[in-house]
Amino acid sequence: MFVYTLKRLAVAVPTFFAVLLITFTLTVVSPFDPVEMMMTQFEGTLDTLAKEEVIEKIRDQYGLNDTYWVQFTRWIGRLLQGDLGISINGQRNVLRMIVKTFPISFQLGLAGAVVTTILGIPLGCIAALKQNTWIDYTIVGGTLGFRTVPVFVLAPLLLVLFVLVLDIMRVPRGWDGLFQTKVILPVFILALGPLPVVVRQTRAAVLEVFSMDYVRTAKMKGLEMWRIIIRHILRNALIPVVTTLGFVAEGLIVGSIFLDSIFAIPGFGGVAEAGFRGFDYPVIMGVTMVSAVMIILTNLIVDLVYPFLDPRIKIE
Amino acid sequence: MSESSETVSNESLREELAGESALKTRSLWKDAVGRLLRNRLSVIGLVITILLLIGALFGPYIAPYTYTEQDLLNVAKMPSPDHWLGTDEIGRDLFSRVLWGARTATLVAIFTTFISVIIGVIIGAIAGYGGALADNITGRIIDIVMSVPGLLLAALIAVSIKEPVVTWAENIHDASGFPLFADTTWLDLLVVFGGLAFVSWPGYARLIRGQIFSLREEQYIEAAKSVGVSELKIALRHLLPNAIGPVIVTLTFSFSSAMVLESSLSYLGIGVQPPQASWGNMIASNIGSWSYRPWLVAVPALTLAIVTLGINFLGDGLNDALNPRSKRSI
Amino acid sequence: MRQMHLRFAISALLLLTVVLGACAAPAAPADDGGAAMADEGEAMEGRPLPDDAAEEQVIRYVTRDLSRLNPASESGFGRPWISHMWMPFFLRDRNHDLHPWLATDWEVNDDNSVYTIHINPDATWSDGSPVVAQEAIDFWSWALSPSCISCWTYLRLGVVEGAQAVIDGEADTISGLTAIDDKTLQITLAEPSPTFMASMAHYNTGFVKMEDVNADEFAADANTRVNGPFKIKVWDLDEREYEIVQNPGWWGDKKPYIERIVAQWSNDENITYIMWQDGEADIAHWFTNIREPLRAESPELFVLIPYATNFYFALHTSKPPLDDINVRRALLHAVDWDLAISAAYEGSRDERVMKTHITPELPCFVADNWPDFGYDPELAKQELAASKYGGPEDLPKIRISSGGQSPNYLRTAEIMAEQWKNVLGITDVEIRPGWGDAWGQEADLVNVQRNSWGATIPDPAAMITGLWKYYTDPDHVALVDDELDAMMAELPTLDPNSAEYCEKVSAAEKRLLGHYYFLPMIWDLYEYVVQPYIKNFDANVDNNWSTLLDIYVAER
């Protein structure tokens, strides 16, 4: 297993650089100019004539007038020195942006995965036990129902309900650490994303186990239902848990794009969104780097953990 | 085990194994339909899906107005006999636009799903059958694609290659006069949703690869192999029927998630472009004033929710129905 | 082995439970930070509050974005208060009149080339050290140099003698600046500029002590010394926490009432509006969708920022089919602009349909300077038929970029397209809303692009000549008109007070409008939405809260 891990890590390096190269190319080759993007936010404040001058000057400051290879090698060179550059929009140190925002999103993503798991596994079990009854339908339909409403519709709806109608909270804004009431709503919304998947997987796993001979035997032996569930289903149920681990990585970035913006959370998703939105290549590259590492690592962990849970899967 | 089966291996056993599988497949499908119809939710899902398809095919003929027809003197009006669901912010009939939106949503979903399934199945099959090296290479390709947040990668691809593609199409049109390239609006969809498809295929590839690997371990496959049934035959007779269930299930799910994704893209301003009617851009262009004109958001959002829910119910039903192991037997 | 699995599973579940339990545990009240801070202002010898003032003098401000604070790079979202942190020499009021600010007064020589600024003798930095003229020279020299990243001060000081050499990186200090003594700054211009004193009141000419400037992408923090009535408490772009508080050591006679301003970032208008309705925001900026319904309900909440801005769709006159002026004229005349703008802006801009470049706020405004402007479908059809394309069938594709996702722009574009279809039979039209403000423009393909043009009040000539310079650029619209070139060249040389000034500005504008290189939208207004209990609020053309010293929070 150790050798396997080493091997996987070894191939991860070229993968990683391929990701960087592709992203860099897409960003630099695209017909959009990050400086012009930045200037649009000053609409109405600088007259357009001045804009032209300013754009040229800033392009020079960032070396954007250089050729593609000069830019790429310069970027890689700086990367090897641990310098991710300065964002074009906002002129901030990219490394610092990532270091500051990543832990926040990581905690949120993890909390989301935990909530998903804790809600999803029992719900999935119940749905399976009550297969094809209204309880099953309500659980499956309800979890799905939340998923089918886009986050940017769902979040304002929930806020109107809690803030304006019920008046039990203020609009949760920003980040004061994970153990704050204001985190509940974002985490809940984040957890809703993968929830139907976990419910389904658990439900399917439970149904599958029910059909196994040893469970039938156990049942015939008169073991109580909950014992059967705990004994035989728990391990199977952990597979969806591990699957949600993958969602931590993906949800960190994509899931939090809308949430960061809605709840003003200083998270990684917001950095990613602003970077991509503005074609701010130092930011895009930084974000891509981190997410590549995250996803490569998560995949590795998931692959390493699966065999423990499902003996049928073997590590080659 | 293989040694002992070697000793009893003969033509008849091979035939028997192949025949049993075919029989199994037939009864599996028949069973599946039965199971599907027993689940009330999936029946509802089926009905909604059929309604969607009817809307997509015939909506424009049912719609009382076209999707662009404006009545600037009657903007944002509540539902009335003339406009069953009211008019939108520039006086277009909401009911008609929702119907046209069904066509857009279906096209988007079919297009995205279709492309990603094809790429995914091919890559997954290569990974599953091509040996360790192929598995490794495709695995890294999947890693690369999955390493960039999907929505953002799709957006980046879409905007980066859009202009070259459009210019290319116009050059073809100039050179050949080929009428297909005169109107580049469809290229929009192609590029944007091609981008979406491009980032969603790894899911299928992994699924197929996983299916191939896990089924290989099954005893009857090993048995078939040991008696000398060819790889291709095994693939067609055993793996395909077994893998198609999960693929259909995933397909329905990604069908609906493509619709939701389209609405997200529209919200970010790179989805289906106006004046085309899509539920996503209808939500996006009215979400800002929903507290004053809630129905302009509620109608498309509810339609989207009901349709995606319906398709998901159908997918769930199919999941139960096509996955014979999860059938209720205690 | 099997037991190990079980143990693993159980411990994993246990861990999850613990984390969840902690997560759901009742948390400390979120607002404790606020109570602790309220005390801070009391230490300062205050100005007696008006009778109706509330206990807590705190403004909670919500805006669409916030960026680093640095007077040299400011251009966006710190403008409300940056002139109250690093004070420019003067401050403009709503009517653009200059008032003493860091400086007490100024003189200029006869040929308008040498200005002498007298810095207030009391002016000190927040650490107690005096503000001296040399500090302005040092900071400006850095702000103009290429090493200052994304800095715009040179747009204000470019006319100073020796500024260009610093901008080009050939000199370290601006030779036209001389510190006569600690409190007197002499500025020699390379050429006279009618707007130079406006620059001296511009937030980009505020200055920071150079010892505090620690990076080329300098961003001020709580340690940065200020010379104005407010200083940073926290300005953390990473944590998204923004708060400024009174500078307890401010040297001015008139202390502010407001103790602190808490700024909040909200990119989602729905959320901003929910905060507004819930009473969590006192001043909000950038309502777009909700703006008009809100205005209809309570017009008194809106405070205008006195900008002079045009919004319009520029037509690229060198790209087909807009290379034919008859097509451009047809596109203009086929649209009922009054109706279109009324629908697109929900009746809120009926009086502000853009009919000229020069807005009603600017001198030399002539309402009907575009005589041909107006809705005339018959004329439009004739014009299209007279064009080299002969009609709608062979017309190349029209690609409109709304340059931003504002529903107003999109609606206008959609209405234009529909009316072109109805009146002219043009169907090959594409609209791109763009992500943010520029996505999907497809750079070179777009031939109709939404644009905006702002003017420095009170200078219509600069606006018109700037427009001309921009739209003659081959990369933009590529207008050609030698006669107009000559007319435009003359404008900057005119005395704004002379009789012929407005005459010539109008004549040039009229000829410019005759090129039909744009489709009008509106003369737009920028506004703040201010709760009624915020008193004395006002803003100037630089979008500074120019009355900040007098603003107070009344009892609700």
pLDDT of residue C259: 94
Q: Is the pLDDT of residue A155 over 80?
A: yes
What pLDDT does residue C391 have?
87
Distance separating alpha carbons of residues B158 and A295, to the nearest angstrom: 23
The Cα–Cα gap between A162 and A164 comes to 6
Percent of chain B scoring above 90 in pLDDT: 11
Q: Which residues of B touch A32 (CB under 8 A)?
A: 159
Structure tokens, C545: 């809260």
DSSP state of A229: I
CATH superfamily of C308-525: Dipeptide-binding Protein; Domain 3 (3.10.105.10)
On whether residue B322 sits in a domain, the answer given is: no
In C420-459, where does DSSP find H-type helix?
none
Rounded Cα distance between C126 and C120, Å, is: 15
Q: Dump pLDDT digits (tens) for B222-254.
A: 777 777 777 777 777 766 666 777 777 778 878
The answer to the question of residue B16 being in a domain is no
Two tokens, residue C413: 């574009």
Q: Considering CB atoms only, which of A149, A254, A299 is closest to B143? A: A299
* Helix ranges restricted to H, C150-234: 154-157, 163-167, 196-199
The strand pairing partners of C305, in sequence order, are: C526
Cα–chain center distance at C181: 35
Residue C383 C-alpha, separation from nearest chain A C-alpha, in angstroms? 31
Evaluate whether residue B28 is within a structural domain. no
pLDDT, one tens digit per residue, over A13-36 is 888 888 888 888 877 776 667 777
- A51-58 mean pLDDT: 72
- Residues with Cβ within 8 Å of C308's Cβ and at least 6 positions away in sequence, in order, are C359, C361, C362, C454, C455, C457, C463, C523
Higher pLDDT, A131 or A54: A131
Find out whether B298 and A156 touch, Cβ atoms under 8 Å. no
Instruction: Assess if residue B25 is contained within a domain.
Output: no
Q: Which of C351, C545, C376 is nearest to C359 (CA)?
A: C351
**pLDDT tens-digit series, residues A162-205:** 998 888 888 888 888 888 888 899 999 888 888 888 888 788 77
Per-residue model confidence (pLDDT) at position C166: 94
Superfamily designation of domain C230-305+526-553: Periplasmic binding protein-like II (3.40.190.10)
Can you give the residue ranges of every domain in chain C?
71-212, 230-305+526-553, 308-525
Residue B163 with chain C: CB contacts under 8 Å: 442-445
Query: pLDDT tens, B16-59?
Result: 555 555 555 556 677 778 877 877 888 999 999 999 999 999 98
The total of other beta-carbon atoms located within 10 Å of residue C281's CB is 24
What is the Cα–Cα distance from A211 to A198, expressed in whole angstroms? 20
Q: How far from B112 is each of B122, B142, B195, B201, B207, CA to CA, in Å?
A: 16, 18, 9, 9, 17
* Domain count for chain B: 1
pLDDT of residue B328: 37
**For each of chain B's 330 residues, which pLDDT tens digit applies?**
333 333 344 455 555 555 555 555 556 677 778 877 877 888 999 999 999 999 999 988 888 888 888 888 888 888 888 888 888 888 899 999 999 999 888 988 888 888 888 898 889 888 888 878 888 888 888 878 877 777 777 777 776 777 777 778 777 877 777 776 666 667 777 777 788 788 888 888 888 888 777 777 676 677 777 777 777 777 777 666 667 777 777 788 788 888 888 887 777 766 777 778 889 888 888 887 777 788 888 999 999 999 999 998 888 788 777 765 544 332
Category of A174 on φ-ψ map: left (φ > 0), alpha (ψ -120 to 50) or beta? left
Q: Which of C471, C525, C516 is nearest to C288 (CA)?
A: C525
Query: Taking the C-alpha atoms of C476, C480, C483 and C487 in order, what is their torsion angle to the nearest 10 degrees?
Result: 0
pLDDT in tens, A39-48: 665 555 555 4
Mean pLDDT for A61-90 is 85
B/e letters for B275-309, b = 16+ CB within 10 Å, e = fewer, are bbbbbbbbbbbbbbbbbbbebbbbbbbebbbbbbb
Radius of gyration (Cα) for chain B, nearest Å? 24
B163·A31 Cβ contact <8 A: yes
Q: Nearest Cα to C258, choosing from C543, C537, C540, C541?
A: C537
Report which residue type is found at A53: E
E strands in A19-175: none
CATH 3.40.390.10 fits C71-212, yes or no: no
The residues near C3 (Cβ < 8 Å, ≥ 6 apart) are none
Instruction: Say if CB A199 and CB A210 are below 8 A apart.
Output: no
- Measured in angstroms, the CA of A46 and the nearest CA of chain B are apart by 25
- The answer as to whether B140 is a domain residue is yes
Which of C194, C154, C158, C113 minimizes the C-alpha distance to C460?
A: C194
What is the residue type of B284?
A
pLDDT at residue C307, as a whole number: 75
Closest CA to B327 of B41, B35, B46: B35
Q: How far is CA B294 from CA B96, B287, C249, C315, in A?
A: 18, 8, 51, 36
Determine, for residues C442 and B270 on separate chains, whether the beta-carbon distance falls below 8 Å.
Answer: no
Asked if the C-beta of C442 comes within 8 angstroms of chain B's C-beta atoms, the answer is: yes
Residues of chain C in contact with residue A86, where contact means CB-CB under 8 angstroms, are 149, 217
Distance from C-alpha of C448 to C-alpha of C443, rounded to nearest angstrom: 11
Report the CATH number at residue B149: 1.10.3720.10
Give the DSSP letter string of C18-47. HHHHHHHSPPPPTTHHHHHHHGGGGGS-PP
Q: In C, which residues are within 8 Å of B275 by CB distance?
A: 414, 417-418, 431
Q: Quickly count: other Cβ atoms within 10 Å of residue C236's Cβ.
A: 15
Give the residue from C3, C7, C17, C19 with the most A CB atoms within 10 Å of its CB, the best one to mutate: C19
Which residues on neighbouring strands pair with residue C261, listed in sequence order? C59, C244
CB A238 within 8 A of CB C9: yes
Question: Quick one: tokens of B71?
Answer: 């009545």
Report mean pLDDT in 10-residue bins for chain C, 556 residues.
43 43 38 39 64 93 88 86 96 90 95 94 95 96 90 89 92 95 95 87 94 90 95 90 93 93 88 91 85 86 84 88 92 94 85 89 88 90 92 87 79 93 90 49 70 76 86 82 92 86 94 92 87 94 91 92
Query: Is B320 a domain residue?
Result: no
For A225, the 3-state DSSP assignment is helix
Residue of A nearest to C525 (CA): A44
Give the number of other CB atoms < 10 A from CB of residue B119.
18
Please give the Cα distance from C555 to C553 (Å, whole number).
7
Q: Are C117 and C184 in contact (CB under 8 A)?
A: yes
State whether residue A23 sits within 8 Å of chain B by CB.
yes
Residue with tokens 């002026």: C325
Chain B residues whose beta carbon lies within 8 Å of the beta carbon of residue A30? 156, 159-160
Q: How many CB pairs under 8 A join A and C?
A: 184
Give the pLDDT of residue C330: 94
B87 three-state secondary structure: strand
Residue B318 domain flag: no
Q: How many CB atoms lie within 10 A of CB C175?
A: 15
Q: Domain span at residue B123? A: 54-302
Please indicate whether, in this complex, the C-beta atoms of B274 and C436 are within 8 angstroms of each other: no
Residue C433 in contact with partner chain A when CB distance is under 8 A: no
The total number of residues written for chain B in this structure? 330
Residue C550 CB: number of other CB atoms within 10 A?
17
Residues of B in contact with A148 (CB under 8 A): 256, 260, 304-305, 308-309, 312
Q: Which residues are paired to A85 by β-bridges?
A: none
**Is B151 an interface residue toward C (CB < 8 Å)?**
no
Helix H or strand E segment including C63 = strand C58-63
Gap between the Cα atoms of A207 and A233, Å rounded: 10
Instruction: Provide, as residue numbers in chain C, all residues whose Cβ is less than 8 Å from the Cβ of B154.
Output: none
The two three-digit tokens of residue C235, written as one number: 């300005």
CB A98 within 8 A of CB A268: yes
